[in-house]
Structure formats: structure tokens, C-alpha cells
């Protein structure tokens, strides 16, 4: 392995989301790749993306991805279904590093899990409008897809609410079409939704298999880094660095609550600033 390859292996993984949901991808990635440095950027100042136009999402997402690439990441994880819908093709043409989305891996996994060919996907309104999951599953024979937008789920999670009677009532209303369609497999098509997996499973029952787009993205990332020869396999003390375009204190407080202490060292940044401002990633 030459020096350039060594430097590539040691570079961090960049993870981008519109807000907090992508933390589920970050945690899944850490579980699978414990030796990797990670730089996470949440665009909380402009979240949620789910109600914005595809053009707006594309503009915001590329600004954030540009910032991560400028920092020298070795791979990009678009940890947001809405952003993946809007910007994946552009991102793969724009950047030289591997770009992994959350839609494609989940769409590959779901047909392997279903027993009756009826698959549901719950997602944001923008992801539903994009029909990204329809396109991803179009070539799979014998699949019937039922898509349900669940916009209020993101609001609950972003406010730290993951249980309670009001949320359960909302969940029952959102999930009714999935039940009526007889789906035996459900894609959690927003990276916020794994934080509601217990509630969703409770409402739908044990007969419905949940597919986490976050976990599938992490698995795809592991496979990609290994295939590219840039997976850090040696034991080391990695760095975890969290950036937000919003309030850093709120991000860290809510991130710790939702992710059980996983989030730390949060800094507030502007996407037009130089990479990481005055804060350097310290490697272990």
C-alpha cells in the first residue's frame, strides 16, 4: 500500500443529514466499523427537508456535502432519504469519493425479507413525491409497494418525543394504509424512524418485518469501503466529530438523549465556512 492509499484509509467518513435522524446511520456505522473516524454534519438550521422542494433539498444537500468533501473525507454517507432522493446522481458525478445513499440498500434488502410480496415504505412527503422507492423496486417482479408519508414523525423525534399516547395515535393513523394493504415488510424510509421502531412494531405487530434504511446504509458502507480497500481494519482510538448548522448546545443535548450519550463535541458551523473552521479532528 503506497502513501496515498495510507492517507485515504486514515481519512474520516463523512455523514450528512438534514438533522438528527442521520445519527442512527452514524451509530450503525460505528457498530460495524469501530476503527473509523467520523465527521457528521446535520443541517438543522434548515431542517426539516421533507416539506421542501426537490430543488431546495438539492441545493442545501450539495452545500453540506461540499463542506464534508473539502474536509478530506474518504467516503460520503447521505444519511437522509429525502436528500438521497434529490441529489444521489449529482453527488456521484460531482465527487471522486464513494457516495452511499440510504434508499438503494434498503430497497435491495426488502424483497429478500417479504413473504407475500407486499412491501410498505414510510417516509417524508418529499421522498414520497420523488417515487425513489418505486423506481428502486420497479425491476423486482412480484412486488406491490405501498408508500405512506409520515411528516409528523420527524417533528416528534426532533423534539425528543419517541413515545406517548399522542404519538401512538398519530402512528396508528399513518400506519393504517400499510395494514390495509397487507404488507408483511415495512421499510423505515427516513433515518429518524428507527428511533420509533418500537412503537411502529407495536402498532403493526410481530408479523411485519421492519427494514431500517439506517442499518442497511451502514452495511452498504462497510462493503463499499472494504471493496475499495479503504476500510480501517487495525484497532485504534477513532475520533467522532459532530457539526450542526443550528444550535450546538441543543444538538448535543437532544443527540445525547436520543442516542444514549453517543453524541459529543458538537460545533455549530456555516456551510460556507472553511472546513471545520478552527476546530481540527484529533485522531486517537
Q: Name the residue ranges covered by the structural domains of the chain.
A: 3-101+216-268, 103-214
CATH dotted code for 3-101+216-268: 3.40.50.1860
| The predicted structure's pLDDT at residue 261 | 82
Distance CA 254, CA 261 (A): 10
Considering the chain, what percentage of its residues have pLDDT values greater than 90? 88
Average pLDDT over residues 196-222: 97
Chain-centroid distance, C-alpha 212: 10
pLDDT beyond 60 at 92: yes
The pLDDT of 172-189, averaged and rounded, is 98
Residue 277 has pLDDT above 60, yes or no: no
pLDDT in tens, 55-71: 999 999 999 999 999 98
Q: Which residues pair with 147 in a beta bridge?
A: 121
Quote the crossing angle between the two packed helices 23-32 and 248-259, to the nearest 10°: 60
Other CB atoms closer than 10 Å to residue 74's CB: what's the count? 21
Alpha helix segments (H runs only) across the chain: 3-10, 23-32, 54-70, 81-94, 103-113, 125-130, 132-137, 151-158, 165-180, 197-204, 213-228, 248-259
Residue in 14, 24, 13, 15 with CA at minimum distance from that of residue 191: 24
3-state secondary structure of 145: strand
Percent of the chain past pLDDT 70, that is, above it, reads 93
Summarised one tens digit per residue, pLDDT across range 223-245 is 999 999 999 999 999 999 999 99
Instruction: At 28, list the grid cell.
Output: 450503525
Averaged over 9-34, what is the pLDDT? 96
Catalytic residue among 123, 183, 190, 217: 190
Q: What is the DSSP letter of 81?
A: H
Has 80 been annotated as catalytic?
Answer: yes
CATH number of the domain located at residue range(s) 103-214 in this protein: 3.40.50.1860
Write out pLDDT tens, residues 35-51: 999 999 999 999 999 88
* Mean pLDDT over each residue of the chain, to the nearest integer: 92
Phi, psi for residue 232 in degrees, rounded to 5 = -85, 105
- Cell digits of residue 84: 438521497
Active site residue 217: no
| Grid cell listed for 61 | 444537500
Catalytic residue (choose from 80, 150, 183, 217): 80
Per CATH, 3-101+216-268 and 103-214 having the same topology is answered yes
Judge whether 127 and 85 are in contact, CB under 8 Å. yes
Amino acid at each position: 500500500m503506497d502513501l496515498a492509499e495510507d492517507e485515504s484509509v486514515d481519512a474520516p467518513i463523512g455523514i450528512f443529514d438534514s438533522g438528527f435522524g442521520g445519527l442512527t446511520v452514524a451509530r450503525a456505522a460505528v457498530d460495524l466499523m469501530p476503527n473509523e473516524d467520523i465527521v457528521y454534519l446535520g443541517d438543522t438550521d434548515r431542517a426539516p427537508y421533507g416539506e421542501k422542494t426537490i430543488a431546495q433539498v438539492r441545493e442545501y444537500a450539495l452545500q453540506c456535502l461540499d463542506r464534508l468533501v473539502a474536509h478530506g473525507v474518504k467516503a460520503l454517507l447521505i444519511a437522509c432519504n429525502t436528500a438521497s432522493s434529490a441529489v444521489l446522481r449529482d453527488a456521484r458525478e460531482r465527487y471522486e469519493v464513494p457516495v452511499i445513499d440510504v434508499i438503494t440498500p434498503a430497497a435491495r434488502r426488502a424483497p429478500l425479507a417479504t413473504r407475500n410480496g407486499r412491501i410498505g415504505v414510510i417516509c417524508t412527503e418529499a421522498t414520497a413525491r420523488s417515487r425513489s422507492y418505486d423506481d428502486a423496486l420497479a425491476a423486482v417482479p412480484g412486488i406491490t409497494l405501498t408508500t405512506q408519508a409520515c411528516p409528523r414523525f420527524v417533528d416528534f423525534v426532533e423534539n425528543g418525543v419517541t413515545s406517548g399516547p399522542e404519538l401512538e395515535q398519530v402512528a396508528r393513523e399513518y400506519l393504517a394504509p400499510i395494514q390495509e394493504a397487507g404488507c408483511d415488510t415495512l421499510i423505515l424510509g427516513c433515518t429518524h424512524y428507527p428511533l420509533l421502531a418500537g412503537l411502529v412494531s407495536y402498532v403493526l405487530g410481530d408479523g411485519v418485518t421492519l427494514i431500517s434504511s439506517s442499518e442497511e446504509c451502514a452495511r452498504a458502507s462497510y462493503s463499499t469501503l472494504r471493496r475499495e480497500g479503504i476500510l480501517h481494519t487495525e484497532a485504534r482510538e477513532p475520533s467522532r466529530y459532530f457539526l450542526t448548522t443550528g444550535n450546538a448546545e441543543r444538538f448535543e443535548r437532544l443527540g445525547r438523549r436520543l442516542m444514549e450519550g453517543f453524541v459529543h463535541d458538537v460545533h455549530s458551523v456555516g456551510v460556507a465556512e472553511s472546513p471545520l473552521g478552527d476546530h481540527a479532528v484529533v485522531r486517537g
